[in-house]
Structure 1
């Protein structure tokens, strides 16, 4: 392990692949890169994704995507080609979606990106991340209480253990280091208790790129809801049975509801946050010590102090009790938000279907090399009528 305060600048022609990890300041870093595109371009840096975070394409590359895989594959192909063929002095690609890749998929990603790359991994204490990871599970329809979920996550033989396996530096070194070389891995270990380390991710990338003062913090809303409101979300899942046949729709609705609940909670919402209990903090520290040993034994570069992956168990409660009440204001806000977002999702789904049908009609017309005919006009009229009917039905459900 080479431990440094900041890494040395990479030579011209270098490529940087940032694979997260999730909940380690990735959104803030990506927002800063996205906002500084023009200035970065003037400094010879190409941030290749079109948006701040090409998450769906990265998940496809990692083999963890769901949905329209043909469309995602096209996105990934464009992204990989842009990264591979850019002529900029430095090329950067960032998404936590890559971190979910299995070892064979890591090798495939490396081959598709071409050449060599420096792989950057941002870390935080796992004990600080578990409440957010549990809440993500609830947004996907999860039913377990925090204590039940924790017991599974911290049992290596339990399927839930996969939720934190990607946070193990030893596994990252074994898979990403094998393909890209351990000496091309950079781990960033900031101090969660030091406000000055809030910018460590940004300063690390600026140092690697040989620039200064370009990446500035951007307003990013990604806060966790209070514990009582999270429990309300879980009990909605219990009552709703994971959404039944409309599971995908409800997953999208609950994800958006929880985001609004965290970023702009209703007046009268609870203030208690989810805390990892002491027994879990102690067990996580045992795993963190193994992670630190793996880093020390590697040829990777570590920015900061890997000891920051440990937490003080005394700062965690001996016992935790899930809230069983919310205010009527929160309950009313939750019911109204879920209903409105569900209607919005139905309307958007109907609109997407209409657009897909319209594209199919246009492609058929192009293949036949015809101008607009009465039959084509009738098809478009039919599509518009279907869209209007879908909107009327969704409004009746308001």
Structure 2
């Protein structure tokens, strides 16, 4: 039976990909140190979808029960990590914690300042097949028409749903360090909660974890998603085709130098929200790793929202994307193996070559 189980539940866009890359790329080293990541990377995503009753995977191999069974059979500590877990309902979170007991269950939640979270969250929704404009997204949050943002993407409500199920000492809030901090700061905070000693994990393997797209590139993707209609309705096929061949192979490879943000007209609103968020978290009894002050936006960038891009910029990005897709398609053709010649055809060809080498003998008839 596992001694402790650390359930890392999000929130999305808080460096979870970076942390997960370090964990999974050092899975054997961690195992030797007595820390298990059950299954494999996709297994945690599939188990999360099963727990929440989602249909993102057409044919998932792992269920929540299967992941729990793997965890229960380990004598040391266990880490379960998926940023989608934080969006579980009260009942789903209770079921998850109950299923992991009698192990000592710890809940890990990461929080990031809202000024950076809003643009990142919208972009992530587009990369998950979303079609709404940034103005529609941020306007819905601002005017209270998108409560799901607070429920599914912020630490405050995640802690209430999950943290209330375990003692205060087993609730951990990790703040995402601001710009200018060493790249490994987030990992060291995360590792410190679990008790992973320094030097066990190779941190270089996590470079380039989740490259952001520029304003024009994400707008091109949004319009592609809209044009796709009901094709690729499941998450896995969409990622296998669109994410792999368009986003990863082409859009991420561009300079992505046209940045975007919330826009200066909403700066005061975001700052007020940040102060409210800090106050709520400060009043919640949990272990804070980092500093709640890091949730207060600094160096507010006046870059405009992506909806203000002119048509010519988007058109140029679309044309360059098509060129990139052509180059990508050409590279793929070089990777396709030539069809193997059938055994019968090869044997026939060898017989014909052998007959040609036979020198005719005068007066001898071969047939």
TM-score band (shorter)? 0.7 to 0.9
- Residues 1:35 and 2:21 are matched in the alignment: no
Match of 1:113 in 2: 100
CA distance in 1 between counterparts of 2:161 and 2:186 reads 25
Cα 1:95/1:144, change in 2 over 3 Å: closer
**Are residue 131 (structure 1) and residue 126 (structure 2) matched?**
no
**2:263 paired residue number:** 277
Contact 2:122–2:134 (Cα < 8 Å) also in 1: yes
In the superposition, relative to structure 1, how do residues 255 and 166 fare at CA in structure 2: closer, same or farther (>3 Å)? same
Q: 1:120 to 1:338 in 2, by over 3 A?
A: farther
In 2 relative to 1, CA 181–63 (structure 1 residues): closer, same or farther, beyond 3 Å?
A: farther
Partner of 1:263: 252
2:147 aligned partner: 161
Deviation at residue 13 of structure 1 after TM alignment: 2.3
Q: Secondary structure at the match of 2:40?
A: coil
What corresponds to 2:37 in structure 1? 47
Partner residue in 2 for 1:347: none
Instruction: Confirm or deny: 8 A CA contact 1:126 1:167 kept in the other structure.
Output: no
Q: Of 5, 12, 15, which aligns to 2:5?
A: 15
Aligned residue in 2 for 1:294: 280
Alpha-carbon displacement from aligned partner over 1:291-350 (angstroms, at most 9, x marks no partner): 211222122010111111121374334777224224757515337639988xx9xxxxxx
Q: 1:172 aligns with which of 146, 158, 166?
A: 158
Q: Distance in 2 between matches of 1:53 and 1:288?
A: 34
C-alpha contact 1:224 1:259 (8 A) present in aligned 2? no
Normalising by structure 2, what TM-score? 0.76
Alignment of 1:334-349 (within 5 A): 334=322, 337=325
The aligned counterpart of 1:312 is: 298
CA contact 2:261–2:301 (8 Å) conserved in 1 = no
Whole-angstrom distance in 1 between the partners of 2:229 and 2:305:
32
5+ residue gaps, structure 2:
333-367
Higher helix share: 1
Distance 2:186 2:300 in 1: 26
Distance between the aligned counterparts of 2:43 and 2:202, measured in 1? 17
SS at match of 1:15: strand
* Aligned partners of 1:225 and 1:261 also within 8 Å: no
Structure 1 runs (4+) greater than 6 angstroms displaced: 338-341
Give deviations 1:359-396, integer Å, cap 9, x for gaps: xxxxxxxxxxxxxxxxxxxxxxxxxxxxxxxxxxxxxx
Q: Cα distance 1:210–1:56, how it changes in 2: closer, same or farther (>3 A)?
A: closer
Contact 2:261 2:304 in 1 (8 A): no
Structure 1 residues 260 and 130: CA distance shift in structure 2, 3 A = farther
Look up the SS of the partner of 1:152 in the other structure. Answer: helix
> RMSD between aligned alpha carbons?
3.1
Matching residue within 82, 86, 90 for 1:95: 82
The alignment's TM-score, normalised by the length of structure 1, stands at 0.71
CA contact (8 A) 2:5 2:79 kept: yes
